[in-house]
Amino acid sequence: MIVEALLLTKHFNSDDLKFWIDWHLNKCKFDRLHIIDNESYIDIPEIIKNDDRITYENVKDYARQYVLYDTYINEKSNADWIIPIDDDEYLDFENNFKSVQDLLKFYSTIHKDLHLFAIRWKHLFPKDFKEKRNGRNIFEYCTEENYKIANLFSFGDFGVKTFVKRDGIIHYQETWENPSGGHVPLHSKQPFGALLSDGEKIVKNYSTNLYHTTEFVRLLHCRYKGPEEWNFKYNNLNYVSDKISKIRYRDSKFNEFIKNDYYK
């Protein structure tokens, strides 16, 4: 069984990219990585040139994320399973499995005829966005779970990303088709969506339950990326902590806040 991670990146610095690659190849033991480089600031081909487990392509201008996913998964990859993982995300199953292959074998045994397997996020933030990283890796810098965002609508720990079994046509919806971001694609062999670890059916890119006793894997979402001075240059203060407290849970202004302030 070949398992692949698909990375679309623009904001990595060299050290963070090397850490991300090492984490997913050597800790999680993905068989392959495919990197889609959207005009990043570093020389990715130079970094990966000695590792034949990593393939690479460059895309310019405005990258249509889900179209790129469709194209690569349906037309280029020959993996058995694949999952898109962003440059601020890290698959984590602690000591529950030896490899991502063991993880998928385990849940495929529990859930017969599994084609889409949903993994929930766990959001990690710096203690203080104003504090410099000073050479720390991403997990030494992002150490705090944010419980405010975890309980907000389909955000936070309700949200999922999906392992896709490549045995049928995959289609990721664009964000204007699906406000949740298209993280659960349509699939010819599992039309209702994805299955979470406890068997919950995920049809709108988020879970209905925050806590799952049978859950042994998460996608760590580190709310920082970029070079050392990125958070100062772009005034990247803690928007979630500062602004969610001012916005009622079902305030119509929430969508504008997300669009204009948080996801630039």
Average pLDDT over residues 206-221: 82
Average pLDDT over residues 50-72: 90
- pLDDT at residue 66 in the model: 86
- pLDDT at residue 153 in the model: 43
Q: What is the pLDDT of residues 122-163, one digit of tens each?
A: 888 777 766 778 888 889 988 887 655 545 544 456 678 899
Instruction: Please determine, for residue 170, whether its predicted confidence score (pLDDT) is greater than 80.
Output: yes
Show the 3-state SS of 95-128: CCCCCHHHHHHHHHHHCCCCCEEEEEEEEEEECC
Sign of CA dihedral 171, 175, 179, 180: positive
Span between the terminal Cα atoms of the chain, in Å: 37
Among the CATH numbers 3.90.550, 3.40.50, 1.10.10, 1.10.3470, which is that of 3-262?
A: 3.90.550
Question: What is the Cα–Cα distance from 13 to 30, expressed in whole angstroms?
Answer: 22
